[in-house]
Amino acid sequence: MTYCCALRLKDGLVFVSDTRTNAGVDHISVFRKLYTFGVEGERFISIQTSGNLATTQAVISHLSNHLELRQEPNLYSVNTMFEIAELVGQTLRKVISDITADTDEHNNYSCSLLLGGQIKGADMQLYNIYSQGNFINATEDTPYFQIGESKYGKPILDRALVYEMPLDEAVRCCLISFDSTLRSNVSVGMPLDTIVYKKDSLHIPNGKRIYEEDPYFRQLSKQWSDTLRRGVQELPIPTNDYLE
């Protein structure tokens, strides 16, 4: 399984992905699921992947290959984030239709992608791209998307995240969402890859890979456990009719 989360907020974009893949519980590997592309000062693009690993790697490879061979259209030749979303969606659709030409088992090869970024002179965008190649766009009302094993980490996002949240706070919120998922589901695993993009910077961030022993992440996780335990204790005591 996989868990990827992406935010489009007032001040920028945040992307966090785990790196665990599994084909059965005895076949677990570490694979990157967060990719960045871009031209410094002109465009920044991030793609996160969930689902069949052969499919998602093929999509990324086709997109990279086009860039390398300067075949158009490619991620750097089209003019808007919308056109990039269309290009990624079409690439995904072609990969799946090629591999399933002789079978009906489309679901086995399906995947989801999150695409975020900004092109000079235009707004930041964040898309959730489906296996069929179509997509939806994040808004101020719904400033985040999740793909993969998303349920464990959804409550904290639904409850704490708002469009106006500063980026450093949003990163903490995302990391808590991941920590909750890591604790409740072994198919999502460390290390985590994070990217924070500041609005209008048009800078390609290095990002940070967070390993299991990362002191900041450990501190975050411990403090969050304390917050929840203390939070439950401080809740008002149920009235007697709850206990009768």
Site for its own copies in 77-96 (CB under 8 A): none
b vs e for 143-166, b when ≥16 Cβ sit within 10 Å of the residue's Cβ?
bbbbbbbbebbeebbeeebebebe
Q: Which of residues 125-184 bind its own copies (CB under 8 A)?
A: 151-156, 158-160, 167-169, 171-173, 176, 180-181, 183-184
Under rule CB under 8 A, residue 76 binds its own copies: no
Closest distance to its own copies from the beta carbon of 183 (Å): 5
For position 190 contacting its own copies by CB under 8 A, the verdict is: no
| Spatial distance between the Cα atoms of 20 and 185, rounded to a whole number of angstroms | 11
Q: Give the number of other CB atoms < 10 A from CB of residue 73.
A: 14
Residue 217 corresponds to which tokens in the numbers above?
A: 């992440």
What is the closest distance, in whole angstroms, from the C-beta atom of residue 212 to its own copies in the complex? 16
Per CB under 8 A, does 236 bind its own copies? yes
Residues that bind its own copies (CB under 8 A): 151-156, 158-160, 167-169, 171-173, 176, 180-181, 183-185, 194, 196, 198, 205-206, 208, 216, 219-220, 223-225, 227-229, 231-239, 241-244
